[in-house]
Structure 1
Amino acid sequence: MNATAPQGAVPCYPVEAPQEFDEEGKELGPDAQVWKTYVREADQVDEEMVDGWNKSMDVILIFAALFSAISTAFVIESYKSLKPNPPDASSQALLIISQTLMLIANGSQPSSNPPTPDAETPVFQASAKDICVNVLWFLSLSLSVAVSLISMLAKEWCLEFMSGRTGPPGSQARRRQRRWDGLVKWRMKEVIVMLPSLIHVSLLLFAIGLCVFLWDVHYGVAIPVVVITTISAGAYFACTIVPLLYDFCPYGTVLSRVIKQFTSSVSRFTQDDPVQDDVIGNALHWMVTNCETPRSVDIALQSLAAADEEVSPTKLEEVNAWAMIKQRFESGALEQSEQSRNASRLYKRALEAVPAIRIRVNPLVYQSQGETRKLEQLVLGVQSTINGLIHEALANTRSLDPRTTSILKRCNLIGPHYMYKLNLLEREFEEEPQAYPTALVEEIVNLLEPYLTTIGEADEDSALCRVLLASFAFILCCNVAREPTEHSVCVGYVMRLVRGHWLCAGNTSYSCSSNRTTLYYFVLATLWLSLSSGYPGKSNSPPATPYASIEETFETLWAGLMMTIYSDSSALKSHTTCFSHGMLYLLANPNPYNLTNYDSGAILVIRALTIVGAGLPAEIEIKYYSQYISDISRNLADVNGFKYAPQFLTALYTLWDSAPDEHHRLTSEMYILVVKCLCLADDIDMNSEDWRRAYQILLDSSFPRCSPQLIQYLSSTNLTTQLSNLTNSNDANKRMFATAQLWLWLNMSLSELDRTNPALNALEEALLQYPDLENKLEKQEEVAEKLETKLRVLFNEHKDEIDVPQAYICRVIGIMFQQRSTPLPAIISDCLEDVSEDLRGVGSFRNLDTNQVVGSPGILSAPDEQDISSTN
């Protein structure tokens, strides 16, 4: 706020003008908003970049001038050692004259030959040290002069790059983008960046020469200089090498940055250069990558509404443009403003343009049939999103072995191969032999297992691991949608990865995993079950197209990828049922896939963590809920059904926890299963968590009434004997549970009004297995009273040490008091406060086999006439 503003004035802040929209179909025209934004953003970026280069080169020129002056002073002295010294020749002449004069003084006649010194003077030859010093210093001086020349030329190049920025926005953008592409192609940036390195080399050469020069003069003077030079050179090389080993090292040099950039560009996934002009795609890629203003990025993405085959998808996939468009479209769907609606329409059209743009990569004819257009958009949209992840993986990975690179290339062909096999494409798919989708699944799993089982969580979150998991989910959906696939094989692939991850993370007790991104991919890998499980559709009305269920699956897959990439669950919230279905289906059907209790526990936790993490509702649609319950009942009828008892308990608990409108349905088979599991807990694979779930299921369910199905299942077991044995257990919890169950069954027999009911006779025969009846049915009331007394005594003695839910025992005791028309004790009333009214008292008895779940969630169960009469 301006300090000189008058008192009481309202502060004013700059507000960005509302976004302008182009006419439909002209989003990429010469005067489109995208090009105006491009020119504005490019000018800012280029000015900042060129200004930085100019300042850097100014420093280089000044330093090179000073350094050249210093090195010249040393060179002037050192070069003299490379040629004969004139004073030495004068000394030799004086020596000869002196010898001649001495001979004359002694009276000797000088010989005709001139006197010579004692040793013949050798021919002049420079020493090796002198040559080394001069080579190093002259090379250092030459480098500094060369750097000065290149810097002056570079300033002219920068001036040329910034010139000619006038005219229509479209023309400016194309001209600037071509110059930028040339700058990138000819590596002008790298040349300018290397100039400081040449100065560094020049300094190093001078320092080495200085050390050699001083070493020949005096060791005492040379040693400190050598030490300082060695330390400085070591530090420089360390700053160059360490960033190559550690990505986030704060130290570095120009050379290290150039090496990292070079290795990244070499490992980048390469494709054949397209013949068409890539200026538009490159320009939009530059905007998405470099623009810091969110609106500028939005405008760049919205302009793709007018895109066609002339726009290259490769550069756009590198920045995951289609995933960004999808994310913006879904997140803005709930906005009501005019600006948001206009933007959503542009994003929608941009998504519809995906098939037309992909023609450049796959020369195939899309949109041949109207009913498949949406399917094409979804499949190619998911494929483009995965391609973006592939580019990210290849850019962030220093080196890949040929096998991994080949797999990633084939992952680019999953979507086109699927549509080709469905006869949605009119042209021949030349790359079909490279796809091999069936074999590709096995190869992806083999490549993923080391990341999920041995390498560790840090590698699980790597770009390569993410793209492989996304491709795995995508190819499973495509394979199942294309043709019937052996379910057990696909489930086997998924469970191999789940088991490996769970074992590596140490989740032996089903503890929570910190890496939820991997868990989301596991859920996405089960989406194909929505296509093959035969479950009801989302709507009761007939589908709009034959591909409606497939479209829903790919919509969910794409929305799930948005969640893993951007942590945005807005698109996923409208596909919660499809998202969770695969995991719930596996829980309800452990027999066909031979899932262990460990597997079911892992699936339960994965579903719970992903649902909570994405902020999705846990409630299951009622028709799906009914189908899951039917699946459990059908699987229990299997001869080996009880072998999977703990797995069914896990499934039942999950359904109980996610039941619609908090209503639950327990069939006769499930009731017998739960009771039998609690009786045989020591003999089957049950842990403490399974115990708790089993008691919670009974707590949230109605008590059973006598029915033919219930008695049939009860008669086929020896549960009465097993419960009788439990009444003598050392565990108070087991004694209370067994006592409560026996009393309920005796009460079921005694309260049955139709004494001619065949089911009653079968029930009485089963109860005669209880020893206290002494094979006499007339003792039922007496035994029931003893059990009632025993249960109340056990509860009073052990109420503070009960591990099972107290509310379940209190429900049974409450019925005992109600039948005697006795008020409930305070402790029982307090314990039943959180129990719903329909689960209290004699009114909580239901015929489990006629208690049907109906279409309205508000009317989930209704007692029959016999039930009603018994409550009066």
Structure 2
Amino acid sequence: MVEAPQEFDEKGKELGPDAQVWKTYVREADQVDEELVDGWNKSMDVMLIVFAALFSAISTAFVIESYRNLKQDPTDISSRTLFTISQTLMFIANGSEPSNVPLTFETEVSPFHPSAKAICVNVLWFSSLSLSVAVSLISMLAKEWCLEYMTGRTGPAGAQARRRQQRWDGLVKWRMRELIMMLPSLIHLSLLLFAIGLCIFLWDVHYGVAIPVIIITLIAAGAYLACTIVPFLYDYCPYATVLSRLFKQLITIGSQLGRDNVIQDEITANALNWMIVNCETPRSVDIALQSLAAADENLPTRVLEQRHAWVMVKQRLECGEVDKQFERNQKVRELYARALEVYPITRRKIDLLDYGYFGREEQLVLGIQATIQSLIDSFLPRVDPKDITTRQLLDRCTSIGQYHLSQAFSHAIGHNQASDKYKALVEPEGLAEALVNQLEQYLTGKIAFDFDLYYTLSASLAFLLCCHAARGHTGQSVNISYVLRLIRGYSSGLGSTAPESLHQKIAPNLVLGTLWLLISSASPDDEPWRINPLPKALEYLWATLMAITYSDSSALKRLDVTYLAYGMWYLRTNPNLYNLSRDDCATIKMALNWTQSANEPSNRIQSIYHAYYIHRLSHDITTMADRDSFAPLVLMAVDRLRRYSPWDGYYVLPTSEIYTLVIKYLCTTNDTTSLDCWNGYWILAYSPIPKLSPRLVQELSSSDSITHLSNAMHSEDHHTRVFAAAQLWVLFSMSIYEADRTNPALSALEAELLKYPRLENSLERQEAVAEELEAKLMALREVVYSHLEEYISRVMEVMLQRRSAPLPRSTDSVLKRIPRRLCGIESFVNYETERSIAYPDLVFDSEGRPSPAPSGQE
């Protein structure tokens, strides 16, 4: 059956007397209560009818027979009397005096005592019978309670919901469900007593038998009396009798006035919580969550926070199924957004902070804190009570958000007492260090890995670092050291031994730990949010946290991978500054791979950040004391940037520093089958061939590239020789075909080319040497790795175009994998001027640092 379209309340009326949430509550509660009460009634019908009839018939026959043993048998008295009379007559017949002869009857008759056996059996059987009667009485009362619970379901939906919730709270508080569940156990006890009695036979009559029967009767009478009196003391006590209901009707006439108003108190919170927990219809749960849009500071939130209500609101707000184009779905999104907006207001009395000053920041901080609190609540019961350290650490993490906001209030509007309170609770000075120490032990494998605790501590650390960065409590170098400790801990520990499934779980947590860099590190972006970058970082933190904790990437997929990956890219493009090792870079690569998969299908980063990372790598190269040792790390980073390229076809525009570093590495490497070497080949294959420029010649000279290429021509490795021949031809072609023969850069290039022995110190031989290189390349090209053949095919295409010769079919087939912008003579560009063309929305300073182009200049 198709559900009717959802109706919406007026703004601010989502918790009013006739709100949709209460209509849904009544509908759902009726279904649940009818099923519950029907089950109770059927159970009690079995107890009252089947058991009462069957057990009474059986026990009565035995009790009638057994109770006779509790008193003296009249036939015994008659027999003794007849015996005495016969003795007397015999004495008279013998002529004796009866008075002088002792009579046997007088001397032998003793008082009657029932046997212990008879007493025991009757105690058990009469107790069993009394207990069964008591159970029948309570069962009849329980049926009346059920009837009372289901009555009074008329009137406004809000009033109905409150009455029903009060009754339900009373039912839970007074444990009516447990009592009704206990009745069959009493019947079982009755049967047990009867069975024991069968094992002991008849006992004689004794007054003590009445005592337990009286006790049981008194208990039943007392219960009945209590059920009559207690409803007068507690309005919504579920226990009642006919007498109590009769008197209450007389007393409470007219007292219903004023009960129809819905106030936001504990009853309202419990009613919403009941809907979230018990409703099986998703729409009913949605309506309950949407009604939070009208919550105010009087609504107790703790019970709803324990059910992760605001996290569920966030999930639904970001749900991919919500279509913004439809008015109804837009209304739904508005309700969820308002529910998040009022969340800080509902916590004013709890946190003792006057929320409303920082707006969006408050929503995000408290939302993230609520998510972390849900993780702590679910994990804390499993913590060993003797593990005081972990418990104290988790307790400190429960107030990070409140501590941050209290500090913000202190700076904005003056000192407040709440600030001191939360500072004492969190102890922020050493919390980050304590969290990192614990996480480091997990990542190094020193202690058994606990996923839940690791997630909780990792999220808390990321949250704390964002708050510290925003308030400037710790320097960037300190926070960077925390992140590097985790990366290196993983690299040296679980990174080499853990299964792939564990890698996938750890990677997003490492990304979490770098989101604070959106706040504190230098960025090329001057968007308005950069003035207050904390909300942006918190938005990504919350989305990533939800993806990790609840496996819900809806929010994450709506966000830009540029910012999600920024922290990791910042570290990755500064290998020399932070002294990254190869293992460190491998761990960062794993984390970046996760960001790529988390944001599918779009993995492109913004052009300004792409250009900024290229610039950072180039700048880092210039500061390297030992370029050779860092070269593989740079190549790995540039190749990853190629895959995040803002253009189609994995196009990348390197700088002269990167270009010459690649050349030198490929000439000097001893293993052309390594991934590092392949990274170099891929970079050259998917980047333009450079034209002459002063910066390029300067880098060729400082790195002595011609000498390295000359030596590579004599390498024992086939692919090294092929690459050197192709690269030398490119440089000679750059000199030969330079249009401006007066260019000072040309003179500098020619001076470098003279280092090539085959030139024999004569620039006149440039064309002859170029032809030799062409011939060698044509001879060697047939057997090369697929990773190198793309670059070689591009160089050959340019050679043949210069001679107006056709392309071999094999070369043409390879070039189909290459973007058209990288094919032919047109692929030659000046690296320094081309970046303004490749990045039309950016401008570059003299050092190559990008920034957004002024409006109207793009």
SS at match of 2:703: coil
Whether the 8 Å contact between 1:50 and 1:158 is mirrored in structure 2 is: yes
Whether the 8 Å contact between 1:649 and 1:674 is mirrored in structure 2 is: yes
Q: How far did 1:857 drift? A: 5.2
Q: How far did 1:482 drift? A: 1.3
* Pair 1:502–1:306, CA change in 2 (3 A): same
Distance 1:571 1:384 in 2: 18
Distance 1:489 1:183 in 2: 56
Q: How many residues align?
A: 752
Q: How far did 1:164 drift? A: 2.9
* Pair 1:396–1:195, CA change in 2 (3 A): farther
1:792 aligns with 2:775: no
Q: How far did 1:790 drift? A: 1.9
Which amino acid in 2 is paired with 1:184?
V
Distance 1:583 1:445 in 2: 18
Residue aligning to 1:440: 431
Distance 2:50 2:579 in 1: 75
1:741 aligns with 2:730: no
* Pair 1:285–1:402, CA change in 2 (3 A): farther
Residue aligning to 1:349: 338
Which amino acid in 1 is paired with 2:540?
T
Looking at CA atoms only, which structure, 1 or 2, has the larger radius of gyration?
A: 2
1:822 aligns with 2:805: yes
Which amino acid in 1 is paired with 2:642?
W
* Pair 1:55–1:749, CA change in 2 (3 A): same
1:689 aligns with 2:675: yes
Deviation readout 1:614-645 (Å, 9 max, x if unpaired): 43521111111121111111111113462332
Which amino acid in 2 is paired with 1:794?
L
Distance 2:280 2:559 in 1: 31
1:808 aligns with 2:796: no
Distance 2:119 2:439 in 1: 60
Residue aligning to 2:631: 645
Residue aligning to 1:606: 591
Whether the 8 Å contact between 1:64 and 1:145 is mirrored in structure 2 is: no
Residue aligning to 1:581: 566
Distance 1:319 1:411 in 2: 19
1:669 aligns with 2:660: no
Distance 1:488 1:664 in 2: 31
Residue aligning to 1:558: 542
Q: How far did 1:315 drift? A: 1.5
Residue aligning to 2:16: 29
Q: How far did 1:571 drift? A: 6.1
Which of 469, 472, 478 matches 2:461?
472
Distance 1:704 1:63 in 2: 97
SS at match of 1:792: helix
Whether the 8 Å contact between 1:720 and 1:769 is mirrored in structure 2 is: yes
SS at match of 2:351: coil
Q: How far did 1:327 drift? A: 3.0
Deviation readout 1:518-569 (Å, 9 max, x if unpaired): 5334323321111112214473xx55x953x222222222333443436242
SS at match of 1:344: helix
Distance 1:112 1:732 in 2: 142
Which amino acid in 2 is paired with 1:612?
S
Which amino acid in 2 is paired with 1:840?
C
SS at match of 2:302: helix
Q: How far did 1:365 drift? A: 1.0
Distance 1:132 1:717 in 2: 109
Distance 1:143 1:68 in 2: 12
Q: How far did 1:213 drift? A: 9.3
* Pair 1:404–1:70, CA change in 2 (3 A): farther
SS at match of 1:593: coil
Residue aligning to 1:534: 522
Deviation readout 1:83-119 (Å, 9 max, x if unpaired): 9999xx99xx9xxx9xxxxxxxxxxxxx9999xxxxx
Whether the 8 Å contact between 1:366 and 1:425 is mirrored in structure 2 is: no
Residue aligning to 1:654: 640
Distance 1:131 1:455 in 2: 70
* Pair 1:153–1:498, CA change in 2 (3 A): farther
Distance 2:723 2:367 in 1: 56
Residue aligning to 1:524: 512
Whether the 8 Å contact between 1:312 and 1:360 is mirrored in structure 2 is: no
Whether the 8 Å contact between 2:476 and 2:521 is mirrored in structure 1 is: no
Residue aligning to 2:91: none
Could you list the runs of 5+ residues in structure 1 that have no partner in the other structure?
1-13, 98-110, 115-122, 215-274, 862-872
Distance 1:587 1:746 in 2: 34
Whether the 8 Å contact between 1:649 and 1:690 is mirrored in structure 2 is: yes
SS at match of 2:469: helix
TM-score where L is the length of structure 2: 0.76
Whether the 8 Å contact between 1:419 and 1:425 is mirrored in structure 2 is: no
Could you list the runs of 5+ residues in structure 2 that have no partner in the other structure?
85-100, 105-112, 202-262, 845-858
Residue aligning to 1:340: 329
Deviation readout 1:339-384 (Å, 9 max, x if unpaired): 223333322322221121011320111224xxx2222222223223
Whether the 8 Å contact between 2:313 and 2:336 is mirrored in structure 1 is: yes
Which amino acid in 1 is paired with 2:723?
F
Residues 505-520 of structure 1 aligned to structure 2 (within 5 Å): 513=501, 516=504, 518-520=506-508
Residues 419-434 of structure 1 aligned to structure 2 (within 5 Å): 419-423=405-409, 424=412, 427-429=416-418, 430-434=421-425
Distance 1:187 1:28 in 2: 29
Distance 1:153 1:500 in 2: 66
Which of 671, 675, 679 matches 2:667?
679
Q: How far did 1:36 drift? A: 1.9
Distance 2:518 2:640 in 1: 19
SS at match of 1:592: coil
Distance 1:78 1:688 in 2: 99
Which amino acid in 2 is paired with 1:550?
L
Whether the 8 Å contact between 2:557 and 2:600 is mirrored in structure 1 is: no
Residue aligning to 2:368: 382
SS at match of 1:567: coil
Distance 2:748 2:509 in 1: 51
Residue aligning to 1:328: 316
Distance 1:44 1:277 in 2: 25
Whether the 8 Å contact between 2:568 and 2:592 is mirrored in structure 1 is: yes
* Pair 1:456–1:53, CA change in 2 (3 A): farther
Distance 2:123 2:571 in 1: 77
Distance 2:634 2:62 in 1: 89
Distance 1:144 1:505 in 2: 65
Higher mean C-alpha deviation, range 785-794 or range 728-737: 728-737
SS at match of 1:353: helix
Q: How far did 1:497 drift? A: 4.2
Residue aligning to 2:4: 17
Residues 74-93 of structure 1 aligned to structure 2 (within 5 Å): none
Residues 179-328 of structure 1 aligned to structure 2 (within 5 Å): 179-193=167-181, 277-328=265-316
SS at match of 2:834: coil
Distance 2:664 2:121 in 1: 94
Distance 2:264 2:324 in 1: 38
Whether the 8 Å contact between 2:495 and 2:587 is mirrored in structure 1 is: no
Which amino acid in 2 is paired with 1:319?
R
* Pair 1:559–1:185, CA change in 2 (3 A): same
Distance 2:422 2:814 in 1: 68
Whether the 8 Å contact between 2:383 and 2:391 is mirrored in structure 1 is: no
Whether the 8 Å contact between 2:166 and 2:267 is mirrored in structure 1 is: yes
TM-score where L is the length of structure 1: 0.74
Distance 1:745 1:421 in 2: 61
Distance 1:304 1:292 in 2: 19
Residue aligning to 2:159: 171
Q: What is the alpha-carbon root mean square deviation over aligned residues?
A: 4.6
Whether the 8 Å contact between 1:699 and 1:807 is mirrored in structure 2 is: yes
